Amino acid sequence: MILIVIFMAGIVGYGSYVPSFRIKPDEIAKIWGEEAERIKKGLGIQEKSVPALDEDSATMAVEAAKNALAVAGISAKKLGAVYVGSESHPYAVKPTATMVAEALGATPDLMAADLEFACKAGTAGIQICMGLVSSNMVNYGLAIGTDTSQGRPGDALEYTAGAGAAAYIIGREKSQILAQIDATYSYTSDTPDFWRRPHAEFPTHGGRFTGVPAYFKHVMSATQGLFEKTNTRASDYDYFVFHQPNGKFPLEAAKKMGIDTAKLKQGLVTPVIGNTYSAASLIGLASVLDVAKAGERILVTSFGSGAGSDSFALSVTANIENRKNGVPLAHYVAQKEYLCYGLYVKHRKKLKSL
Amino acid sequence: MGVNMDESLAITWRRIPERYRLEGSECTKCKTSYFPTRKLCPACRRKGSIATKMFSGKGTIYSFSEIYAPPAGFELEAPYTIAIVQLEEGPKITAQIVAPHPQVKIGDSVEAVFRKIQEDGQEGLIHYGFKFRLVK
C-alpha cells in the first residue's frame, strides 16, 4: 500500500490533564428522580471529572502543556505559536493563549490566539500548527484543547459534561517526531445541533438531532474521507479515536463503518472521565500514545457541534520508545475524590448566589 | 500572594512572571537565590550582580496552617491549607496547597501548580498564580 506523506509535520510532544474530582451518575440521578442504571447504560458512563474551585480552562491547559513540553524535552522558549481551543475560555474577551504562554514561559516571541468550535477547536489548532510548521513559519507550535464544560441542571448533559485538557506540540525534526501526521481531512457544514448564546450559562442542544445528522454524519464522513484520501482502510490502523460525547456514540460509529470496536478501547476514556469537549478526542489520543509502539497507525476524528470533524492519520515512529518524562493519562484517571451533588453544585457554581 | 480586590492593574501585570512561573532572582556572584525578585543582593551589595532566575517549583513543606476563617474572596474554598514552602533553591514562600489532599505534614514534598487565586467580582480581572500540590 502506498501512502503519500502530505505534511512534513508530526507530534513531538503530548500531554494531558484531568482534575481529581469525580461525580457518579447515581448522585445526579438521585436529585432528578431518574434511574441511574438506565442512564449509565444508555450513555455508557460510569463517572465524570469535575474541576476544583481554582481550576478553569487556562489552568488545565497549562498542566497539559507542561506535560507535553516534558515529553518533547524542549524549552517553552522554542514555541513559535500557541493556540488554545475551548468553548469555556475564562474570559469572553481576553485570550487564554496569552495566559498559557506566559505561565509556560513562552512569551513574547510567538504568535497566539484562542479558538472555539464546540468540541473540536483543539484539533483545529493542530491543523493550524501543521501549516505553520510545514511552511517553516515556526519550528514548534503548541495546540491545546481544554474545557470545563457546562451542563444545565437536570439536562442529560449534566451526566457527561466533564473537565480536562490535552496539549500537542507539532514539529518537523525527524529525530523528534513521536508520531508522523500523514494526512488530515475535515468535513464541515452548518448543522444546528448544539449552541450557547452570549451570556447564556448553559448550552442548548437538539436532543436526538445531535446524533445521526450531526455526530454520525460528520465523524463518519471525515473518517471515510480520510480513508479515501490516503487510500487506506480500517484494517490498516491499529487504533481509532473518535470524539466521545458519551461512551456509546464512538462504538456505534465504528460499527457502522465496519471497524473492529476493540481498536477503540484504549482511546475511549469518556466512560471514566466524562466528555471533556475540546479535549475529548485529544485525551483519547494521549491515552493511545501512552501505550503505542513504533510502526503502529492511529486514526483520530474529532467532532465539534455546529458542525465539523477533523480526521488525522498518524504513524507512530521509533522515537516513541525514548519518550521522555511526562505524566501519563492513567495517573490522572486513577487519582480521584468523589463529590456529592451538593458539593458538585458548589464546584460548578450552579447556585445563583455563588 | 498578597492579591486583593483593589490591587492596581499595573501591580498585577508587573507580578505576572513571578506569580505565573515563579520567576525570581539570583546573585550571580554569591549564587544566592531570591524570591520574590530583588534588585540588589543584600550580601554582596554593589559588588553583586542580580539576574532573573526561573525556580523549579519543587520544594518541601516548612510549616502549614488549616484555614477555617478565610479572608474575603476565599470563602468557597474553606477549609483549605496554606503553607510556607521551602523551595529547593532556598527561599521560603507562602502559598495554598491545592485540593484534594491528604493531611499535610512538615517535610512533605510539593510542586508548584498554576491555579486561579481570586476573581475581582463577576466582571473584574481573574488573578492567577502559584499554589502547591503534594507529590507522593
- pLDDT-derived band at B1 (thresholds 50, 70, 90) equals very low
pLDDT computed for residue B2 by the predictor: 41
B97 and chain A in contact, CB less than 8 A: no
Q: Is the pLDDT of residue B121 over 70?
A: yes
Nearest to B76 among A20, A21, A53 (CB): A53
Mean pLDDT score of chain A, rounded to an integer?
95
Nearest neighbour of A56 by CB, restricted to B23, B96, B116: B116
pLDDT at B6: 62
Question: With an 8 Å Cβ cutoff, is B13 touching chain A?
Answer: no
State how far residue A261 is from chain B, nearest Cα, in angstroms: 35
Asked whether the predicted pLDDT for residue A233 surpasses 70, the reply is yes
Q: What is the pLDDT of residues A38-83, one digit of tens each?
A: 999 999 999 999 999 999 999 999 999 999 999 999 999 999 999 9
Q: Cβ-count burial of A106 within 10 angstroms (0-12 exposed, 13-18 middle, 19+ buried)? A: buried
Give per-residue burial for A249-261: e unless 16+ CB within 10 Å, then b.
Answer: bbbbbbeebebee
Of residues A7 and A231, more confidence is placed in A231
Using a CB–CB cutoff of 8 Å, tell me whether A90 touches chain B.
yes
Per-residue pLDDT reduced to its tens digit, A155-169: 999 999 999 999 999
pLDDT > 90 fraction of chain B, expressed in percent and rounded: 89
- Fold designation for A179-321: Peroxisomal Thiolase; Chain A, domain 1 (3.40.47)
The pLDDT value given to residue A22: 98
pLDDT number for residue A6 = 56
Touching B: A residues 323-352, CB under 8 Å: 337, 346
| Residue in chain A nearest B111 by alpha carbon | A63
Identify the closest residue of chain A to B96 by CA–CA distance. A54
* pLDDT of B94 higher than 60: yes
Looking at the predicted structure, is the pLDDT value of residue A202 above 70? Answer: yes
Active site residue A119: yes
**Is the CB of A102 less than 8 angstroms away from the CB of B100?**
no
Same fold, A10-177+333-347 and A179-321: yes
CB contact under 8 Å between B114 and A346, yes or no, is no
pLDDT at A2 over 50: no
CA distance A61 to chain B (A): 10
- pLDDT at B3 (0 to 100): 43
Does B115 contact A at CB distance below 8 Å? yes
Residue of chain A nearest B19, judged by CA positions: A103
Query: Which of these is catalytic: A119, A218, A296, A347?
Result: A119
Query: Where does the pLDDT of residue A323 fall: very low under 50, low under 70, confident under 90, or very high at 90 and above?
Result: confident
Q: Where are the domains of chain B?
A: 57-136
Interface contact A59-B113, CB threshold 8 A: yes
What's the CATH number for A10-177+333-347? 3.40.47.10
At residue B5, the pLDDT reads: 53
Q: Is the peptide bond before B42 cis (omega within 30 degrees of 0)?
A: no
pLDDT of residue A191: 97
A15-19, B48-52, B95-99, B120-124: range with lowest mean pLDDT:
B120-124
- Which entry of A87, A89, A158, A296 is annotated as an active-site residue? A87
Whether A54 sits inside 8 A of B116 (CB atoms) is yes
Taking the CA of residue B125 and the nearest CA in chain A, the distance in Å comes to 9
Q: B54 in contact with A at a CB cutoff of 8 Å?
A: yes
Q: How confident is the model at residue A326 (pLDDT cuts 50, 70, 90)?
A: confident
Residues 4-43 of A with CB under 8 A from B: 20-21
Per-domain boundaries in chain A: 10-177+333-347, 179-321
CB–CB of A196/A204 below 8 Å? yes
Supply the pLDDT for residue A1. Answer: 41
pLDDT reading at A123 higher than 70: yes
User: Is pLDDT at A340 greater than 60 in this prediction?
Assistant: yes
The whole-angstrom distance between A101's CA and the closest CA on chain B is: 10
CATH topology of domain B57-136: OB fold (Dihydrolipoamide Acetyltransferase, E2P) (2.40.50)
Q: Of A50, A54, A55, which to mutate for an interface test with B (greatest number of B Cβ within 10 Å)?
A: A54
pLDDT (tens digit per residue) in A293-319: 999 999 999 999 999 999 999 999 999
Percentage of residues in chain A having pLDDT higher than 70: 98
For the segment A245-298, what is each residue's pLDDT rounded down to a tens digit? 999 999 999 999 999 999 999 999 999 999 999 999 999 999 999 999 999 999
